[in-house]
Structure 1
């Protein structure tokens, strides 16, 4: 469970939540292991005592000699790559959420994972009737050393953008790198392609994500990190993302405390609490996992 609050333009907004999950795994024989996961998130409405329930993971899968096969509400193939930079407690992981197949998770998704020594390959296909969306993703990553890993991927989707039953295509090309050694972690992700919106087709876009962290303390229980997120589509101003995030977090076993500040740049529209306005945000939180 996590208790946290945002201060945006001098106004406080609660963002507390509880996440619960159930995991299972069963080794049937030397060549086959089956597994499953269900995770949901509960948030409370600020105006009343009602709660909102949101499914985050709901899938089953099998580990075989040929790789892993997973089906359900789960990560996309390129999530492996975007996770390089999505590591802050708060202000990271924004720029890949604009299409179904680049988002962290999607419904009705079949994903294949193959790992051999330093190589990781993933492919996913999504058929989401509820959002009238479908598409696929493909990525490959290679660890050149224990410290350095590079990855590249592509994802495409055909989905609604608020315009009735009409669908439009969007395609994203991604590259990423991460470096971790001792107390230092550095990562960067670049993305480009075309995206559609309500009444707009094939708008070119570019995006970038960067994350840097320094861990310190006897057991590296303290971390200071900085992130940068940028997204710009030629014809869709509402998607503009351009901010710097700074954060300090302290981890004490299952308990964590953190404070984060987001400095909005130019026409940043990423704030969850405003629409189309540049807003700085300050967030404090405490999280307990069990």
Structure 2
């Protein structure tokens, strides 16, 4: 495979996670594709959360499977559906199968209609502001924190009704409504990313939802990213109130993320990331819920198979809060196959 083709596939995979989905059926305007990943992830020094690792390795391996379909209704109108599930190894670390060793956890399940770069979808899917948090949430191993503060700004949420549109070959607009089955827990989100001709993207978003019996939540989020050949850099910032990480009292939250990675011509990629998040409860001291640097090296054998090593420098200090565990650093080795 030519170097440019590999680089394109790698960039696409960072954004979509299912760039290699294979079409297994196509007839009369209806198609079906299957994709996913199988990934070994072993932590050899400290756990991912920062907790102490008593043994030799904490196995965080997983497999994901997804199925996507599309049907052409008219020249300008099509329908689509998507499902994805994930299975992890058992959490005990022993040889027993365990509950998680037997169960696939639902990630996405939605259907929708699309016409001329405009789409409406219904089901379990990402909130509108996730396109902003994903600007910096593309390091090799650890998840971004920006999407985790409030329900209406999170990924893989139930009862979501989404709109997405793409305009002028530069502007991505998303809106979502969270129609909860519970009393007084509805929410909504709006976001947009505009990408300038020279590769600079600017994103802004807002999300809010009711919390029955506790403080209502709201979140502002902004992001910048820049792409040039093999270089990608991005930063996001969010602030708001009513974080679901701490529901015992009114609270404000702020956090920011930074990521940079460069893909060399030999298919080696170097990544560096930083994440910081804190909650400020009413009448109490601020609580750091995330604070770390991450250094990663990735080697792509081809567009389907990669291996990586990541070192996470955890700056959290354990305190009386149940949100903060020990602050051990961690070393992760990984091997990932996309299909």
TM-score (norm: length of structure 2): 0.76
1:175 aligns with 2:175: no
Counterpart mapping for 1:174-193 below 5 A: 174-193=221-240
1:129 aligns with 2:181: yes
> Paired residue for 2:199?
147
> Paired residue for 1:162?
none
> Paired residue for 2:313?
263
Q: Of 44, 54, 64, which residue of structure 1 is paired with 2:89?
A: 44
Q: 1:204 to 1:69 in 2, by over 3 A?
A: same
What SS does structure 2 have at the residue aligned with 1:168? coil
Q: Deviations over 1:58-77 (max 9, x none)?
A: 00011124721011111110
1:231 aligns with 2:277: yes
> Paired residue for 2:155?
104
> Paired residue for 1:210?
258
What SS does structure 2 have at the residue aligned with 1:80? helix
> Paired residue for 2:327?
278
Q: Of 119, 128, 134, which residue of structure 2 is paired with 1:77?
A: 128
Q: 1:183 to 1:251 in 2, by over 3 A?
A: same
CA contact (8 A) 2:288 2:316 kept: no
**How far 1:37 moved relative to its partner?**
0.6
**How far 1:212 moved relative to its partner?**
0.4
Q: 1:87 to 1:66 in 2, by over 3 A?
A: closer
> Paired residue for 1:2?
39
Matches of 2:252 and 2:214, distance apart in 1: 17
What SS does structure 1 have at the residue aligned with 2:132? helix
Q: 1:66 to 1:215 in 2, by over 3 A?
A: closer
Q: Deviations over 1:240-279 (max 9, x none)?
A: 111111111111221110111111114379xxxx952222
> Paired residue for 1:119?
171
Structure 1 unaligned spans of 5+:
160-164
Number of residue equivalences: 278
1:250 aligns with 2:270: no
Matches of 2:152 and 2:316, distance apart in 1: 28
What SS does structure 1 have at the residue aligned with 2:131? helix
Matches of 1:268 and 1:17, distance apart in 2: 28
Higher strand proportion? 1
Higher relative contact order structure (alpha carbons within 8 Å, sequence separation ≥ 6): 2
Moved more, 116-125 or 58-67: 58-67
| CA RMSD in angstroms, aligned pairs only | 2.2
CA contact (8 A) 2:305 2:338 kept: yes
Q: 1:237 to 1:54 in 2, by over 3 A?
A: farther
Q: 1:277 to 1:158 in 2, by over 3 A?
A: farther
Structure 2 unaligned spans of 5+:
1-37, 47-51
Provide runs of 4+ in structure 1 moved above 6 Å: none
Matches of 1:121 and 1:213, distance apart in 2: 26
What SS does structure 2 have at the residue aligned with 1:49? coil
CA contact (8 A) 1:2 1:18 kept: yes
- Structure number with larger C-alpha Rg: 2
What SS does structure 1 have at the residue aligned with 2:138? coil
**How far 1:167 moved relative to its partner?**
3.9
Higher helix proportion? 2
Matches of 1:14 and 1:200, distance apart in 2: 35
Q: 1:22 to 1:268 in 2, by over 3 A?
A: farther
**How far 1:96 moved relative to its partner?**
2.2
